[in-house]
């Protein structure tokens, strides 16, 4: 993450971070099994990676949380991308219902833009707070 920050500081180009969480994944994992959960995680990751640029970074952060770093992208781009990602994830066809409430896989996303006067960890913390806010507001949404 520090390399992306250094690039943004050097070039002056914007940098945005998205923290993505699969909604109710623990409940799903408990209802089915961990092998099925792994299949869902892989399918989700493939869906995200299919929409990335070659300059973007995407990785699993822990459990069902993922981080996406978008160099050269101001906040408006990632917010629009997050909405499109939500739609793509919602259309993933799985062999079983994912949640009792929706019957489909959903994600909550927190988005923040890096500012040169802050540490990259502060940007990540803002994206993580935005993710928490998205969950508090009902999940299956993106917030910044």
Q: Give the catalytic positions in this structure.
A: 64
N residues, the chain: 144
Following DSSP, what letter does each residue of 2-68 receive, concatenated? HHHHHHHHHH---EEEEEEEETTHHHHHHHS-HHHHHHHHHHHHHHHHHT--TT-EEEEEETTEEEE
For 28-53, b/e burial (b = at least 16 CB within 10 A) is bbeebeeeebeebbeebeebbeeeee
Residue 47's nearest CA partner among 75, 25, 70, 66 is 66
């Amino acid at each position: 993450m520090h390399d992306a920050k250094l690039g943004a500081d050097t070039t002056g180009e914007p940098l945005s971070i998205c923290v993505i969480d699969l909604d109710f994944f623990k409940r799903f994992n408990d209802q089915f099994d961990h092998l099925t959960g792994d299949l869902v995680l892989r399918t989700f990751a493939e869906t995200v990676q299919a929409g990335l640029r070659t300059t973007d970074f995407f990785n699993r952060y822990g459990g069902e949380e993922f981080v996406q770093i978008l160099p050269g992208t101001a906040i408006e781009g990632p917010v629009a991308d997050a909405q499109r990602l939500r739609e793509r994830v919602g259309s993933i066809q799985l062999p079983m219902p994912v949640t009792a409430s929706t019957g489909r896989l959903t994600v909550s996303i927190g988005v923040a833009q890096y500012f040169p006067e802050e540490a990259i960890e502060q940007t990540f913390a803002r994206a993580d707070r935005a993710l928490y806010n998205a969950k508090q507001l009902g999940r299956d949404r993106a917030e910044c």
